[in-house]
Amino acid sequence: MLAALVLIGAATLISLPTGPVVDSLPFWCLACGDYGVADALANVALFVPFGWALARTGVRPRVAVAVIVATTIAVETLQNGVIAGRIPSLSDIVANTAGGLVGMSVPLMTRWLTACPRRASLAALGYGASLGVVLLLTLLIQAVPQPGALTWNQSVPNLPGYVRFPGTVREVRLDLPVTVRLTSANPDPRRSEIISTWRSDGSSWMWMDQQDRDLRAHVASLSDPLRMRGLSPWIADAMPAAAGDTVTLAFTAERFSYRLSVSSARGAVERTVRISPADGWRLLVPFERTRERWAPLLAGIWMAALVAPLGYLSAERSATAAVSMAALLVLLPLGLGCAALPFAGWCGAAAGFLTGKGTARWMT
């Protein structure tokens, strides 16, 4: 119970800088914004452990539901003017409550499944297949489309908080890597678009913008129409602190990788991401400015969360399930051409499987 509450507090009650679009979202809007679906799914997942813990303590269902609703309302109340950079919304309350209800149902459902060995085996088989589908879909959603012939422009997005780029773009080359040579201006705390690139069918492919000294890029993928977080490399404090410096920006991408770099008189810095089956967390987790430093940990947590139910359901045939899972994690990158599962992902998968298996034995 305490661990679930600590998780909720860490995810919701730490102050954050927010973007201009997020700041303008109304309280009553459900799953709104560019990342509305991602935020809703993350909020559901956040309260599942809390609901599970309440059910395991034997609290009456009505009381447990009341505690879940009161907790999420308390969180949103604190976010309303007390926690800087947090925006309360009805969507968060609905999603958190739904997650708590899902968590409450988990003990009853798992007891019913594991009471019959045949049901447990079928459930393990079904979950294993679902796990493969989830890993495949999260990879395909993050796949970068080939740009083809590109054009570019520079504008002020019709969004709250954006201003015209204060620097001067001197040259743009559109053959990959897309290269921009510019003269810097004094940093502005507001966001400004440096360039946008467009494919021949009129759809956006990639854009770069600056906020203060931070450089951010975004490249199109299926995550955009699905309103999930996607491919947005962010390099903090990469742009010059004064006006007049010559800066070269470069962005390139392949189907399952992308790289953003900044070069100036003060040196060069780059951000490279190679997408693997352990990177589904990128579709849900915010904090793009700082999250890359936690990427190995987040990859491990993501894989542990996905694999733990398989370990629980296949406790009687754990060797077969473990071999099948390992084969899937090896073959999926070979078949799609994405990056192989990193070491942190393997550690997370193993830890999740063993935790699920141990939990099943402890509860029987």
In this structure, the answer to whether residues 252 and 309 fall within a common structural domain is no
Q: What is the mean pLDDT of the segment spanning 346-361?
A: 91
Rounded to an integer, the average pLDDT of 209-229 is: 94
Cα separation of 154 and 65, whole Å? 50
Query: Residue 118: what pLDDT?
Result: 83
State the pLDDT at residue 289. Answer: 79
Same domain, 216 and 356: no
Given 210, 245, 274, the domain boundary residue is: 274
pLDDT in tens, 124-149: 899 999 999 999 999 999 999 989 89
- pLDDT reported for residue 244: 93
User: In terms of domains, do 62 and 167 share one?
Assistant: no
Percent of the chain's residues with pLDDT above 70 = 92
The amino acid that residue 147 corresponds to is P
91 plus 129 within the same structural domain: no
Between 2 and 214, the higher pLDDT residue: 214
Q: Which pLDDT value is given to residue 27?
A: 64
User: Quick one: pLDDT at residue 31?
Assistant: 67
Residue 24 pLDDT level (bands cut at 50, 70, 90): low
Note whether 96 and 84 are same-domain residues.
yes
Q: How many distinct structural domains can be found in the chain?
A: 3
Pair (222, 293) in one structural domain: no
Question: Which one of 208, 239, 274 terminates a domain?
Answer: 274
**Cis amide leading into 240 (omega within 30):** no
Tell me how far apart the alpha carbons of residues 54 and 63 are, in angstroms, rounded to a whole number.
Answer: 9
Q: So what's the pLDDT on residue 16?
A: 60
Both 203 and 269 in one domain: the answer is: yes
Judge if 254 and 170 occupy the same domain. yes
| Section 244-257 average pLDDT | 95
- Whether residues 363 and 326 fall in one domain: yes
Whether 300 has a pLDDT exceeding 90, the answer reads yes
Instruction: Determine the average pLDDT of the residues in 111-120.
Output: 82
How high is the pLDDT of residue 26? 67
In this predicted structure, the answer to whether residue 223 has a pLDDT above a threshold of 60 is yes
Q: Which pLDDT score is estimated for 85?
A: 62
Give the mean pLDDT of 302-308: 95
**Domain limits at 59?**
1-115
Q: How much is the pLDDT for 84? A: 62
Please determine, for residue 77, whether its predicted confidence score (pLDDT) is greater than 80. Answer: yes
pLDDT in tens, 176-198: 899 999 999 999 998 999 999 99
**Statement: residue 152 has pLDDT above 90:** yes
Answer yes or no: are the C-beta atoms of 46 and 4 closer than 8 Å: no
Pick the last residue of a domain from 251, 274, 297: 274
Q: Are residues 317 and 289 in the same domain?
A: yes
Q: Which is more confident, 40 or 230?
A: 40
Q: Do 50 and 88 have their domain in common?
A: yes
pLDDT band at residue 268 under the 50/70/90 scheme = very high
Decide which of 77 and 102 is more confident.
102
**Mean pLDDT for the chain?**
88
Based on the fold, state whether residues 109 and 71 are members of the same structural domain.
Answer: yes
pTM, two decimal places: 0.88
